Structure 1
Amino acid sequence: MSDANDDTQNYALGAIAAVVALVIAGVLTLAISRSGAPKAPAAAAVAAAAPAEAALPRVYFEVDSDALPADAMDVLNRVADAARANPGAAVLISGFHDASGNPEHNADLAKRRAQAVRHALEANGVPAAQLVLDKPQQTLGGGDPREARRVELKVQ
């Protein structure tokens, strides 16, 4: 009878040890991701980041326009709320453009779109010191044409 109790006790201890190991692994993973773990090579980073990028708040603009679209306010309000709730966080603002047409015009348009988003966030109570404009980025193409007319926001 003692052997059956020992087996049950060993099984229970093993199960507890497994749960503790999973919790520790989760905490370590979270700590590493927040500490800025070393980055993967560029190609792997782009491939690995693709699903996460889909979750980033985005504002989509009309063709050849830097005017904020009417539907942008919901996204901008959510980002402003998150930024005001975390005064130590920076809001990275990235404008995108495609490779068609004049590259200088496209990069300037992407920059003006990002600036329009920055001004809207400032008007919504986000301090200018929290807002960081990223260099305009060119889309890789092959997808939805709207993606070349977007501004992405990341609270970090």
Structure 2
Amino acid sequence: MLDDLDDGARVGVWTTLGLITLLLFGLLGGLGLRQLKGHAAPAVAAAPGEALLEGPLSGDLTGTLYFASGASELPAEAAAELASVKAAVDAAPARKLVLSGFHDTSGDPAMNAELAKKRAVAVREALKAAGVDAARIQLRKPESTAGNGPPEHARRVEIRLVD
């Protein structure tokens, strides 16, 4: 077919084939990246004026609350744990609290991350009601657990004192 064309037409055919090939590779690459992003941790929107912390966990673990599956209401044993956290906060007036909500990898990642955030917010509200200054409490971006521990570890909020 190309033998019958002059040099200008031949260049045009090869250019067109090259552009079509680049377009196909671009589309397939974009779909591949989109799939990879679908498996990444979902972004969770913060309330207006509220920044969610990112980065590695640090600070001293002062408490851990375990929640029922699919629930963001504080568990019955939360009062004792929160009293212990309040005592630790009162003993360290220069330090702040960071609340980290965790979720597992089953189900919808966005819904799981939102549930983990709601749990952390519930803990924050309980600490504020107990007398902890809201300015000393920060929320960390929800994190997915590896899934190799007990199921309740995926439904927890960790409370840490940080400098």
> What is the TM-score with the length of structure 1 in the denominator?
0.64
**Structure 1 consecutive aligned stretches of length 4 or more whose deviation exceeds 4 Å:** none
Does residue 95 (structure 1) correspond to residue 101 (structure 2)? The answer is: yes
Question: How many angstroms does 1:56 deviate by?
Answer: 4.8
Structure holding more helix per residue? 1
- Alignment-derived partner of residue 60 in structure 1: 66
Does residue 84 (structure 1) correspond to residue 90 (structure 2)? The answer is: yes
Q: Which has the higher contact order (CA 8 A, sep 6+)?
A: 2
Identity %: 45
Q: Following the alignment from structure 1 to structure 2, what is the Cα–Cα distance between the partners of residues 87 and 56?
A: 14
Does the residue aligned with 1:135 lie in a helix, a strand or coil? strand
Q: Following the alignment from structure 2 to structure 1, what is the Cα–Cα distance between the partners of residues 116 and 123?
A: 11
Number of corresponding residues: 108
- Alignment-derived partner of residue 154 in structure 2: 148
Specify the code of the residue in structure 1 equivalent to 2:70. Answer: D
Q: Deviations over 1:87-112 (max 9, x none)?
A: 21110100000110000100000000
Structure 1 unaligned spans of 5+: 1-44
Structure 2 counterparts to residues 25-44 of structure 1, below 5 A:
none
Specify the code of the residue in structure 2 equivalent to 1:145. Answer: P
Do 1:79 and 1:155's aligned partners in 2 also have CA atoms closer than 8 Å? no
Structure 2 unaligned spans of 5+: 1-55
Whose radius of gyration is greater, 1 or 2?
A: 2
Q: CA RMSD in A?
A: 2.3
> What is the TM-score with the length of structure 2 in the denominator?
0.61
Q: Deviations over 1:51-91 (max 9, x none)?
A: x98x6520000000000011011111111111123221110
